[in-house]
A and B are shown apart, each in its own frame.
Chain A
């Protein structure tokens, strides 16, 4: 009890210094938490992918299409429940910087395969019936202020020209992690236009989405599909949705690894700062430590005192950082909505934040503790710090 009181008193002897250190640790911990969350989000698309959906694409690479005639053959593979198809449309709204995912799809089977896109029944029906209809996610609609019934014109990059759509529905995600920034429209609309303008690009799809009965069947189905089209003009590559997402994510891995390294570096920097502060504090109190030893306190007591102070400062900073994480994450979620589907800091990350703060306290306390505990009384009293 006495020791605790002593530590608390010591904490506020240099009020400014302690406050600065606490703020420093808080900022570092906050930065660490947000960076870790950012990296986690990068992989979240792949993590939330369904394992009963397979994506079949051209084996050469995604830029090559597959003939629509494959659809029936894929449907016939044992274990397949539904098969749908789509094209990455790659258009933008008004300006090039307004980038979002837009696909031309076969609506009925697609919505069946993606039950996490929840549409009101009336809107769904309107969308199915209208060839020029489209549906968008709630977040996307909010970004551009679209309402059901609006006319939307997109500028094509892969399929040149201005494309007009009528917004027939706004879907919302079943879970928080569901992507709500997708624009979907009828594949037939695209295909009929292609038939008129560039016949060689008609009847081609970018990818097939294959639903399987249960996850255990996925590898067999993938193999069956790929072997069916072996040595044809368009060989296929079938993988689970997760693997498909990961192939994109892994291409930008270098950046993510860099961010990860940086997030540890933040902690390293604050460690150096905190260690410096503690070393200074201990150096100033060498005389006191010697006095305490004279009074009969043992090295262990002193170690507890110094170490306790170091850990207490860091933990205070850590707790402040954790407290600041919530408003910061909320701010990011509302301000940078177009970049992140959502921004929630996981409990695990919060725990790591506290652990990081704790380790800062421990590491920065080691050296001064050792010096304080092993000081010889005569030396300590001799020194004028």
Chain B
């Protein structure tokens, strides 16, 4: 027969101030822990959702990103006529030969310049990216100096809002529409007519080719054939894979940073919990003696105190998660190291992060409570009762 759980719970309630302080210390740690996880999650989600699994991206061999890649026209013609390319309703192949370059734009608020991806598109480009749809305005007319901007670019950069004018490559480009691409990387891009852009930037080659597979299982055979073809110098990646690779460097950095911070912080929080629990034990020597005299086992005392510190940890965890959930309202933009371009993403809270955070806070409580609980359970009855 163990000590009722309500004993542990009521003990926490009695020392409200101390409990709140300790729990909020732990809460802060859990908050940081959850926030870094959410950031990494947000980055990966943004980039991974950008791609769709049926799409294949063709880049020049050994280029890490679309910006570095270049596909010659004669190779593009060859690639266009491969049997794996799906055909749309209009009988045209679902394949887009695109131009991707970086341009330097100034931010609205800070006036600091930053790199933005600009993509020259063809009619097939939109069909290949179901996540993208117009929010306001219209799509640019082929053959005109018009562009549409992704939502986060329109909001953050000068001259990118609807009806405004951008100047780059010696021409003025009117923004005729703003598109919404959900939480994908396209929200940080500007799109316009490909042929106009190739003229303006004087780029005689495409950057990348993207197409929909007729049959998604045929990818491996296609990849082997295309990459083994002596006439071609391209490599094929599934679009999802490509964007996952793009997020790798940044995600790794965030992960290492998060781990280091969490370890350092948790040392502080565990120390706090240990001190609190030691004090709780020291204050209740007589109580513990009484409980033992009543016939409760050492085991029961041990578990009562461990449960108390676990509860403390979980309280902290709940506090931390509650605070971290508000971080979802924040969008941060930073340079993606793979492409050197600006990318906006937000903190994303997933169920996995919630239970990881709770587990982490429980472990912190446990580690903090183990030593004091052992001390409580090893007390000699007579001496404990004698203490005042």
Report A's interface with B, CB cutoff 8 A.
16-17, 20-21, 23-24, 27-28, 30-31, 59-64, 90, 96, 155-158, 160, 200, 231, 233, 235, 237, 247-248, 250-255, 258-259, 262, 265-266, 268-270, 272-273, 275-277, 279-280, 284, 384-385
Contact = CB atoms under 8 A, between A and B. Distances in A.
B110 to A, nearest CB: 8
Contacts of B104: 59-62, 237
A211 B17 CA distance: 64
A160 B18 contact: no
Nearest to B233: A160
Contacts of A231: 170
* 6 closest Cβ pairs, A-B complex: A273-B272, A251-B335, A24-B271, A272-B25, A276-B21, A254-B334
Contacts, number: 141
A280 B342 contact: no
A158 B22 CA distance: 54
**Interface-central residue, A28, A160, A284, by most chain B CB under 10 Å:** A160
Interface stretch (B58-66, B181-189, B376-384): B58-66
Interface in B323-369: 332-335, 340, 342
Contacts of A64: 101, 201
Contact of A21 (B113, B275, B282): B275
A257 B39 CA distance: 14
Interface string B241-269: 00000000000011001000100110111
Contacts of A90: 68
25 contacts: A23-B267, A24-B272, A27-B264, A59-B104, A61-B101, A61-B115, A63-B101, A63-B102, A64-B101, A157-B68, A160-B60, A250-B112, A250-B114, A251-B114, A254-B333, A262-B261, A265-B28, A269-B268, A269-B269, A272-B22, A273-B25, A276-B21, A279-B21, A280-B18, A284-B279
Interface string B194-214: 000000011010000000000
Contacts of B103: 60-61
Interface in B218-243: 233
A157 B62 contact: yes
A160 B61 contact: yes
Contacts of A23: 267, 271
A278 B189 CA distance: 54
A343 to B, nearest CB: 14
B276 interface: yes
A61 B118 CA distance: 11
Contacts of A254: 332-334
**SS of A interface (majority):** helix
Nearest to A272: B25
Nearest to B282: A284
B267 A27 contact: yes
Contacts of A284: 279, 282-283
A174 to B, nearest CB: 29
Nearest to A158: B68
Contact of A272 (B21, B169, B233): B21
A384 B101 CA distance: 74
A24 B368 CA distance: 13
B168 interface: yes
A157 B24 CA distance: 49
B18 A24 contact: no
Interface in B25-75: 25, 28-29, 32, 39, 60-64, 67-68
Contacts of A21: 271, 275
B274 interface: yes
**Interface-central residue, A30, A155, A253, by most chain B CB under 10 Å:** A253
A112 B342 CA distance: 35
A269 B29 contact: yes
A60 B62 contact: no
Q: What range describes how many residues of B lie at the interface?
A: 35 or more
Contacts of B388: 384
B275 A276 contact: yes
B271 A251 contact: no
A200 B63 contact: no
Given A259-B257, A284-B283, 7 more contacts: A20-B274, A30-B264, A61-B115, A157-B62, A273-B271, A276-B18, A385-B283
A20 B101 contact: no
A231 to B, nearest CB: 7
A27 B268 contact: yes
A90 B279 CA distance: 59
Nearest to A38: B257
B261 A60 contact: no
B24 A200 contact: no
B278 interface: yes
Contacts of A266: 264-265, 268
A156 to B, nearest CB: 7
B272 A276 contact: yes
A160 B62 contact: yes
Contacts of B340: 62, 251
Contacts of B112: 247, 250
A251 B64 CA distance: 20
B272 A233 contact: no
A252 B335 contact: yes
A277 B60 contact: no
Contacts of B254: 255
Nearest to B72: A198
Nearest to B331: A254
Nearest to A255: B334
A155 B269 contact: no
A252 B334 contact: yes
Contacts of A17: 275, 278-279
Contacts of B342: 251
Given A272-B24, A273-B25, A20 B333 contact: no
**Interface-central residue, A20, A63, A279, by most chain B CB under 10 Å:** A63
**Interface-central residue, B60, B267, B283, by most chain A CB under 10 Å:** B267
B275 A279 contact: no
B276 A247 contact: no
